[in-house]
């Protein structure tokens, strides 16, 4: 589908990657990973043609349609939201609009209408609007929003519409740069399912390891000045890369040891006539020993350091009766809790329940409709906003000036040093903040938190835009932070690493649990950070709402029980189903066990010593295809199992 040969890209003297040899195939979903600044987005721009190469070739198959999600896409705000999504299939969209325009003419051109209808039918154009609506709903927009103008949406929801536009275009190749940014967990789950059923080739940049594990069949690793293709998902890639690196280092050490031994012999016996010939032989052998050139990894993580200016009192904050609405939509209801010094509190809850709103109120960036927030003594709070533009909005500000304004008494070298810890070096500190990438903007805000030294951190989705190495480093630092932490995150791994207390926001208040996230789940807590569980909960909630009658008439219901209403044939059919469904359930579970065993055996082979050097690329590809096929079959069977289980419960309840 896409052949890449000898690809090279430089920025001045800096080599991003060179001699890249890749073949990107249909039905493969590639996760593009690497450190911030390593060249991931640049690699995508080379594929789209937005940037030119410094060497090598990129050859596309004939008539391939590219679907590209860029972080800086622009669409006019006055357009209708559903129209923006439909524009993903531009040719069909234009034909449909032209048909509408001709219909208004007094003397419409019948030939033109016929040609347009033929074009629309050829590309299944009459389903375009329904496909656009389905995609927008899957990405979390409400039905009533689809007729509104794009300008009515926030930046995060605009990105969802642009993502829908890309998906609706029916591309052969999907190139997605951080598609999960600003998506709630239900929308992420929907996108996972879309990508897993996508028949073309997808290349996706994401810093969400669970999302990568859920969709990828291969990983493209931008590191060591090249791009390396690894089979499997992200977790498998990490293990393989670590093993490959150990083997590489072992080979280098072995070669260097041989050279040192032979060099020592040469130096010792070169001057002795009886050993001169052997010394010359050793010298020639040294020349023949190849030592792999050591190229440094581009993987770098910031050096986070959050220190308190002074500790707080024992009681940090007391929240009582907090409520907040946006128009008719209530997001917080009678929220009450107290936080004590040193606690690390994860705020969780279903989408739209008001988690970010709560942090905005606590940080004094939003007023509550009711209730109080009382801070304890010596509290100095630092706030990390989910939308960085809330803090970095002045077009003239640079990272240097932004941080220095917070500590004007400090020297330039101190501020530059703090920014250096956040991986800003040289002239990078003089960039305009409005030109920074999401990850760079996040690191500026973390630098500001480091210099202001708060004793309470309020972090709203701090892992958004961060690469995986940075997320690891941030989690490690926050675990050892001596102050108090309240944070919102959809990253289950991140929450599990840090939190020692869970506050779950509910429709009628809070569920307060003292313990880790895993302990919270073991006590029957709702897993708001697991996509599958969230989807099931949403379906259950929707089902309960749809089955609740508007007016309940107890007397009439008592007089006509459902069992009496059923015919003999219907009762017999239900009885037969109750007999056959358990057998079907056992059959499904047996098949799932068989498929999981086969998949496990494939995954075990990946960990065998020298697997990737001893097994041909073709055989690896076949194994990977089979693994992906097994995963899809298991997912389908699990869905069947859930449906049978649900039917059994319903029939059992109606007996």
- What parts of the chain have a pLDDT lower than 50? 536, 542, 545-564, 655
Measured CA to CA, the distance from residue 67 to residue 250 in angstroms comes to: 43
What local confidence, expressed as pLDDT, does residue 558 receive?
35
453: three-class secondary structure by DSSP: coil
Q: Which residues contact 174 (CB under 8 A, 6 or more apart)?
A: 67, 69, 166, 167, 195, 198, 200, 201, 202, 203, 204
Q: Which of 176, 177, 164, 179 is nearest to 132 (CA)?
A: 164
Whole-number pLDDT of residue 501: 94
The whole-angstrom separation of Cα 101 and Cα 81 is: 20
Whole-structure pTM value: 0.63
The Cα-based distances of 637 to 195, 586, 642 in angstroms read: 19, 12, 9
Closest CA to 527 of 500, 494, 487, 492: 492
Q: How far apart are CA 632 and CA 622, in angstroms?
A: 15
Alpha helices in 270-364 (DSSP H): 276-288, 355-362
pLDDT of residue 202: 95
Distance of alpha carbon 453 from alpha carbon 521, whole angstroms: 33
* CA pair distance 650, 655, nearest whole angstrom: 9
Residue 262 is predicted with a pLDDT of 63
Q: Give the pLDDT score at 541.
A: 53
H or E stretch covering 362 = helix 355-362
pLDDT of residue 551: 39
Q: What is the pLDDT of residues 368-383, one digit of tens each?
A: 999 999 999 999 999 9
Extract the tokens encoding 552.
């309940």
Which residue in the block uniquely carries the two structure tokens 């909630």? 541
Which pLDDT score is estimated for 350?
77
458 DSSP β-pair partners: 383, 486
Residues 6+ apart with CB under 8 A from 384: 442, 445, 446, 449, 457, 458, 459, 460, 462
Classified as helix, coil or strand, 209 is: helix
Residue 366 tokens read as 């939003």
Torsion over CA of 638, 643, 648 and 650, rounded to 10 degrees? Answer: 140
Buried b (16+ CB within 10 A) or exposed e, 605-644: ebeeeeeeeeeeeeebeebbeebbebbeebeebeebbeeb
The reported pLDDT for the residue numbered 324 is 92
Say what percent of the chain tops pLDDT 90: 34
Work out the angle between the directed axes of helices 185-196 and 128-138 (0-180°, nearest 10).
Answer: 130
Q: 68 near 48, Cβ under 8 Å? A: yes
User: How many Cβ atoms sit within 10 Å of the Cβ of residue 7?
Assistant: 23
Token pair recorded at residue 567: 């015919």
Query: Cβ contacts of residue 187 below 8 Å, gap of 6+?
Result: 138, 139, 140, 160
Q: How far apart are CA 400 and CA 7, in angstroms?
A: 35
Beta bridge partners of 228: 221
pLDDT of residue 205: 92
Nearest to 75 by CA among 135, 13, 149, 130: 149
User: How many Cβ atoms from other residues are within 10 Å of residue 219's Cβ?
Assistant: 23
Pairing of strands 381-384, 456-460: parallel
- Listed residue (194, 195, 181, 236) closest to 213, CA to CA: 236
Q: What pLDDT shows up at residue 106?
A: 76
Residue 534: predicted pLDDT: 55
pLDDT at site 606: 61
Cα–Cα dist 534/351, whole Å: 9
What is the pLDDT, as a whole number, of residue 311?
Answer: 93
Within 8 A by CB and 6+ apart from 136, the residues are 81, 82, 85, 145, 146, 160, 161, 164
Tokens representing 50 are: 């937005």
Tokens of 38: 């390593």
The crossing angle, in degrees rounded to 10, of helices 234-269 and 568-606 is: 10
How confident is the model at residue 103, as a pLDDT?
76
| Degrees, nearest 5: CA angle 237-241-246 | 155
| Cβ atoms of 237 and 219 closer than 8 Å | yes
CA distance 347 to 638: 31
pLDDT at 587 (0 to 100): 82
Tell me yes or no: is domain 558-654 CATH 1.10.287: yes
Q: Which residue has the tokens 């920014």?
A: 419
Q: Quick one: CATH architecture of 315-536?
A: 3-Layer(aba) Sandwich (3.40)
How many Cα neighbours within 13 Å face the side chain of 259? 12
- The pLDDT score that the predictor gives to residue 90 is 87
Question: End-to-end alpha-carbon separation of the chain, Å?
Answer: 56
CB 397 within 8 A of CB 388: no
> Tens digit of pLDDT for each residue in 562-617?
344 555 566 666 677 677 777 787 788 778 878 878 877 876 776 666 665 677 76
Query: Dmax over Cα atoms in the chain, in whole Å?
Result: 117
């Amino acid at each position: 589908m896409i052949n890449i040969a000898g690809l090279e890209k430089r920025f001045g003297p800096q080599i991003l990657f060179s001699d890249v040899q890749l073949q990107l195939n249909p039905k493969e979903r590639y996760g593009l990973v690497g450190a911030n600044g390593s060249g991931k987005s640049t690699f995508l721009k080379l594929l789209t043609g937005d940037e030119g190469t410094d060497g090598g070739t990129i050859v596309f198959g004939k008539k391939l349609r590219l679907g590209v999600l860029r972080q800086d896409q622009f669409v006019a705000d006055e357009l209708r939201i559903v129209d923006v999504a439909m524009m993903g299939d531009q040719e069909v969209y234009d034909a449909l609009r032209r048909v509408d325009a001709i219909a208004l003419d007094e003397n419409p051109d019948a030939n033109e209408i016929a040609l347009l209808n033929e074009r629309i039918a050829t590309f299944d154009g009459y389903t375009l609007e329904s496909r656009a609506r389905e995609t927008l709903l899957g990405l979390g927009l409400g039905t009533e929003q689809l007729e509104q103008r794009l300008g009515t949406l926030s930046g995060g929801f605009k990105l969802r519409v642009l993502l829908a536009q890309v998906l609706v275009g029916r591309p052969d190749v999907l190139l997605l740069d951080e598609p999960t940014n600003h998506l709630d967990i239900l929308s992420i789950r929907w996108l996972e399912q879309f990508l897993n059923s996508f028949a073309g080739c997808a290349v996706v940049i994401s810093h969400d390891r669970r999302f990568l594990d859920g969709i990828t069949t291969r990983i493209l690793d931008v590191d060591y000045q090249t791009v390396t293709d690894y089979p499997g998902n992200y977790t498998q890639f990490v293990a393989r890369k670590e093993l490959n690196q150990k083997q590489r280092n072992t080979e280098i050490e072995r070669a260097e040891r041989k050279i040192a031994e032979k060099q020592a012999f040469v130096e010792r016996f070169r001057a002795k006539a009886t050993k001169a010939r052997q010394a010359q032989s050793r010298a020639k052998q040294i020349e023949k020993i190849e030592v792999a050139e050591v190229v440094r990894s581009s993987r770098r993580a910031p050096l986070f350091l959050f220190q308190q200016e002074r500790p707080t009192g024992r009681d940090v904050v007391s929240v009582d009766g907090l409520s907040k609405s946006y128009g008719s939509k209530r997001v917080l209801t009678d929220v009450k809790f107290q936080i004590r010094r040193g606690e690390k509190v994860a705020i969780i809850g279903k989408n739209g329940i008001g988690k970010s709103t709560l942090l905005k109120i606590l940080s004094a960036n939003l007023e509550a409709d009711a209730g109080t927030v009382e801070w304890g003594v010596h509290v100095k709070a630092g706030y990390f906003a989910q939308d960085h533009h809330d803090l970095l909005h002045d077009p003239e500000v640079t990272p240097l000036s932004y941080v220095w304004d917070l500590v004007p008494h400090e020297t330039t070298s101190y501020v530059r040093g703090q920014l250096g810890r956040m991986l800003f070096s040289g002239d990078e500190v003089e960039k305009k903040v409005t030109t920074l990438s999401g990850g760079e903007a996040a690191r500026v805000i973390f630098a500001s938190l480091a210099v202001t030294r708060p004793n309470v951190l309020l972090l709203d989705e701090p892992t958004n835009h961060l690469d995986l190495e940075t997320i690891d480093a941030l989690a490690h630092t926050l675990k050892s932070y001596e102050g108090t932490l309240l944070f919102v995150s959809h990253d289950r791994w991140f929450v599990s690493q840090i939190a020692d207390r869970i506050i779950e926001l509910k429709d009628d208040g809070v569920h307060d649990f003292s313990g880790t996230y895993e302990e919270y789940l073991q006590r029957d807590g709702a897993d708001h950070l697991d996509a599958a569980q969230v989807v099931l909960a949403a379906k259950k909630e929707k089902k309960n709402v749809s089955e609740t009658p508007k007016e309940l008439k107890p007397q009439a219901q008592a007089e006509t029980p459902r069992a009496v209403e059923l015919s003999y044939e219907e009762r017999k059919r239900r009885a037969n189903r109750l007999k056959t469904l358990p057998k079907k359930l056992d059959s499904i579970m047996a098949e799932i066990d068989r498929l999981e065993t086969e998949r496990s055996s494939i995954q075990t082979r990946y960990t065998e010593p020298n697997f990737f050097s001893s097994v041909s690329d073709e055989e690896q590809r076949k194994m990977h295809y089979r693994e992906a096929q097994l995963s899809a079959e298991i997912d389908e069977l699990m869905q069947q199992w859930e449906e049978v289980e649900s039917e059994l419960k319903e029939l059992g309840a109606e007996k």
